[in-house]
Amino acid sequence: MQKNIRFYSLFLYFIAHHICFSQSIKGFRIQDSLQDKSFAQLEKAYNKVKNKDQEKAVVYANTILTKAKEERNTAKLFDGYFLLFDRSGKDIKYTDSIRYKLKGIKNLDDLYYGYFINGRMYYTRSLYKEALSSYLLALEYAQKNKNEKQIVFSKKAIGAIKYAIEDYEGALVIFRQNYQYIKRR
């Protein structure tokens, strides 16, 4: 009897987890009250509830993801995946969604942002090798785009990985480069 209860408890847990944290809820429809909200308003609402009400946070994250898909807004699509990643207990499947989406993109800003968000997901899970790979690709696209702000953010993220893996000298070199850049501005 005890085994059956444990089995059914685990089964219900996984079903609930799948329903709550699927990449985007199949058949998810944006609530009428959220239809006309901007991405900024949705993100603000998400941030307000993310630590208080998991269910509402997932609704806002899915709303951002769905709205981004409808509007073909790649950066906000990546944000939606990141918010779902954040609410899912850091489920790594969202990195796959972003990598898949990156395959058809030609816009350098979107490529940078997608790889940067992907790196952030890996970094959050302490998957430093994968994070470094993503951040290096983000840096490559930032450099191709000659976007100094993106270059600084990418280098900062790479420096954080070096620090996390205890390559303090390597991290210091990067942080000093960024400091010099910021100081000049």
The pLDDT tens digits for 6-56 are: 444 434 333 333 433 344 455 688 888 898 999 999 999 999 999 999 999
Domain identity same for 86 and 171: no
pTM to 2 decimals? Answer: 0.78
For 40-51, give one letter per residue: b (16+ CB within 10 A) or e. Answer: eebbebbeeebe
Q: Is residue 96 part of a domain?
A: no
What pLDDT score was predicted for residue 40? 95
In the chain, how many domains are there?
2
Kindly state the tokens that stand for 153. Answer: 């953010």
Domain identity same for 108 and 171: yes
Q: In whole angstroms, give the CA distance from residue 30 to residue 160.
A: 37
Q: Percent of the chain, pLDDT > 70?
A: 85
Q: Which pLDDT band holds residue 3 (cuts at 50, 70, 90)?
A: low
Q: Is residue 97 part of a domain?
A: no
Domain identity same for 40 and 85: yes
CB atoms within 10 A of CB 25: 16
pLDDT, mean over the chain: 86
What pLDDT score was predicted for residue 94? 87
Phi-psi region of 26 (alpha: psi -120 to 50; beta: other; left: phi over 0): beta
Domain identity same for 112 and 154: yes
Query: Which DSSP symbol is given to 35?
Result: T
Question: What is the domain range of residue 53?
Answer: 1-91
CA proximity to 135, closest of 23, 181, 124 = 124
